[in-house]
Structure 1
Amino acid sequence: MIFEGDITNDCFKPIGFRESHLFFNSVPLTEETLRIGAWGIDISKDWCVRNRILRPDEGSHFYLSGLAKLEFHQVSKVSISTVLYHSLEQNNDFVRTADGSKVSLSKEWAVRGITPNRPYLYRLTGILDWPHGYCELEIHAEGPVRISFDPGRLVNVSHFFEAPQNYAYPFV
């Protein structure tokens, strides 16, 4: 069974992305809806209880060992900054220039013809799938934000830290 829920505005805060692997198709925005995938989000137990996702484990947070789909509506602007990694396996080995500086890329898109009224700023940080690196993603949206995922893929975050190889995104 797939859980589908609303995470608009402050309902977005109990979900963390620092350990997640983000799938973001960075083409210019041509419509007001943006869809991204995130493997390995962190979700608070309180959020799970409020949304009737029952977990028998003790603990305060859960790691999603699977893909969550996020959909942002009425998007007016997206910006991303990525510090590139050397390899898929070593997420702490950054590409560096001759002087030792980290190589980073950034880009910003806006939906043409959209004049935002009062957009909410959604900030996500994590590992970007391509180009592979640590990223900060900002999405300005006024409409609803939806999330869907398989609750059966939630594991206590302590289990993740004990054996991350069992739960982290499987590099091919």
Structure 2
Amino acid sequence: MHLRALEPDDLEFLYALENDPDIWGVSDTLAPVSRHALREYLEHASVDFHAVRQLRLVIATEIGSPAVGVVDLFDYDPLHQRAGVGITILARERQHGYARQALELLKNHARTILRLHQIYATVGADNLPSMRLFAAAGFRQVGTRQAWLRTATGWQDAVEWQFLLGV
């Protein structure tokens, strides 16, 4: 398992991932993304983390293998040295432990390379697989935001998870 930077060849992978309506609810997306928009994104994806305050890494099972998902650091706060975490695994690749392994790699990268103090995640209260994932990865549940996420069926609570990196 390894994490790598986005490449221009990832266009079709990203197109499939970003246009999967089953994950729009957890990614704050309401509409499909065009290949053109994704090409533009890929052209600028290598911009410095500290400048754009976000980082997307591709999850692959081994070097040269097809992507199975992505892990994101977003909302980077340079003063407090923290960032949010998002992770998405292709539907056909779930239940293989890839997300858990990717979070371990991301925690190490955030600690040793980016020198972050902490990372956090916001998870819909009904997203039990993500709740189990973050708990298994050592994140601590630190609170619940009431009626925080709007869904197709109404408002949902959001559970906040935090991991102190010990930098």
TM-score range, shorter chain: under 0.3
Which structure carries more relative contact order (alpha carbon 8 Å, separation 6+)?
A: 1
Tell me the TM-score normalized by structure 2: 0.23
Asked which structure has the greater CA Rg, the reply is: 1
Higher share of residues assigned strand: 1
Tell me the TM-score normalized by structure 1: 0.23
Higher share of residues assigned helix: 2
